[in-house]
């Protein structure tokens, strides 16, 4: 499943990753290539800590307007591994 993440690059070349589908879920990545793994780890922890149900991803027209005032960009991250871990096992 693809979810939107808002990416901001810091002067020291780290990246902040904000996942609006999971309120309060923010993480960092040391590189562009590490963004997806960082997002997956953060959402796994977030769901475990807060018991937040896994919702359908926001549509692009419903992305938070508050992010428009920040310097960064939207990208899609694949959270399929997180979704797969949350599925009940079938016997």
> What is the CATH number for 42?
3.30.160.250
**pLDDT beyond 50 at 91:** no
User: Does 75 fall in a domain?
Assistant: yes
Q: What is the pLDDT of residues 30-74, one digit of tens each?
A: 999 999 999 999 999 988 866 666 778 888 888 887 787 788 999
Give pTM, 2 decimals: 0.83
* pLDDT for position 56: 82
State the residue range of the domain holding 80: 2-86
* pLDDT for position 27: 97
Long-range Cβ contact pairs of 32-36 (< 8 A, separation 24 or more): 35/5, 35/7, 35/75, 35/77, 36/77, 36/78
User: Does 42 fall in a domain?
Assistant: yes
* pLDDT for position 87: 56
Secondary structure of residue 49 in the 3-state scheme: helix
User: Does 81 fall in a domain?
Assistant: yes
User: Does 63 fall in a domain?
Assistant: yes
* pLDDT for position 49: 65
**Cα–Cα distance list, 62 to 15, 28, 40, 58, 72 (Å):** 23, 24, 22, 6, 17
Structure tokens that stand for 7 in this block: 């990416």
Q: How many domains are there within the chain?
A: 1
């Amino acid at each position: 499943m693809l979810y939107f993440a808002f990416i901001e690059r810091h002067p020291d070349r780290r990246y902040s990753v904000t996942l609006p589908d999971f309120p309060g879920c923010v993480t960092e990545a040391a590189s562009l290539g590490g963004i997806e793994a960082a997002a997956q780890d953060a959402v796994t922890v977030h769901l475990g800590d807060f018991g937040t149900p896994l919702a359908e991803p926001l549509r692009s027209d419903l992305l938070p307007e508050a992010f428009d005032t920040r310097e960064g960009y939207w990208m899609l991250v694949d959270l399929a591994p997180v979704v797969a871990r949350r599925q009940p096992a079938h016997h």
